[in-house]
């Protein structure tokens, strides 16, 4: 992919994206960069994060900052926000995308298995949102958070065995989104959620090998850009966009 835009619809924006070394997170980084934003990325896998960041920096010089660490750690999240401010400036948007899963039936899970998924998927999103809420508000720029849930976290959709902790975490992300949206109003922060169905990612192939997905990460990234664009989505907060695709 080549650099497509230096001043698109997100010019002047600084977007922080978790779980951004690959998959939906990386696609979000590319989409925001194409629309003129600067991005700050984080992943716990250093080799993948460094490779992705270097590739993006070649295409978008000076517009990418990155950090390696686990968002379930409050100390890591605090350091990531500090580095973002030093490298790029005050963040205007946050995409909480980082997620893991444990494919074990309930009777086979340890408490550690359960808590590990909740720490990354839910607590990590809370910690990042908390830091974002504490950040000084740029006077001329609206702010936005987009949380990535899943159709697995929506009532009445199909669920799969072995993913109870993942499903619980994604239901909780929808609830967290609605709660943050209420508190964010006073701070001028809109908070919305995307609940994708099957998306062609490495994570899906590991979790449900038999499933074939029509949607690709860039499809979800386009929605994230829309939700962070004040001109296009200013009336939306506390909303969840459910993404069904033909499979």
- Distance separating alpha carbons of residues 212 and 31, to the nearest angstrom: 24
- Distance separating alpha carbons of residues 102 and 47, to the nearest angstrom: 22
Straight-line distance from the first to the last Cα atom of the chain, in angstroms, rounded to the nearest whole number: 26
Q: Out of 32, 60, 166, 171, which one is annotated catalytic?
A: 166
**206 within 8 A of 224, measured Cβ to Cβ:** no
Which value, to the nearest 10 degrees, does the dihedral of the CA atoms of residues 78, 222, 153, 237 take? 70
- Judge whether 66 counts as a catalytic residue: no
Alpha helices in 72-216 (DSSP H): 74-87, 111-118, 124-134, 164-184, 202-207
Indicate which residues carry an active-site annotation.
Answer: 166
């Amino acid at each position: 992919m080549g650099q497509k835009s230096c001043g698109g619809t997100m010019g002047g924006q600084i977007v922080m994206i978790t779980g951004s070394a690959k998959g939906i997170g990386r696609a979000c980084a590319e989409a925001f960069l194409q629309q003129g934003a600067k991005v700050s990325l984080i992943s716990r896998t250093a080799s993948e994060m460094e490779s992705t960041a270097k590739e993006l920096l070649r295409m978008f010089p000076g517009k990418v900052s990155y950090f390696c660490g686990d968002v379930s750690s409050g100390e890591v999240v605090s350091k990531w926000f500090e580095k973002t401010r030093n490298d790029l400036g005050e963040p205007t948007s946050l995409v909480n995308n980082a997620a893991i899963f444990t494919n074990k039936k309930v009777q086979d899970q340890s408490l550690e298995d359960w808590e590990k998924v909740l720490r990354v998927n839910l607590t990590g999103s809370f910690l990042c949102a908390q830091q974002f809420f504490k950040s000084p508000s740029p006077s001329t720029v609206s702010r936005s958070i987009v949380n990535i849930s899943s159709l697995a976290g929506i009532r009445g959709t199909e669920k799969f065995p072995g993913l109870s902790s993942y499903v619980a975490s994604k239901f909780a992300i929808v609830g967290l989104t609605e709660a943050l949206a209420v508190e964010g109003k006073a701070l001028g922060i809109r908070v919305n959620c995307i609940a994708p169905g099957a998306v062609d990612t490495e994570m899906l192939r590991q979790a449900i090998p038999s499933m074939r997905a029509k949607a690709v990460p860039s499809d979800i990234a386009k929605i994230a850009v829309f939700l962070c664009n004040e001109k296009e989505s200013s009336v939306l907060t506390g909303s969840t966009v459910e993404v069904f695709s033909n499979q």
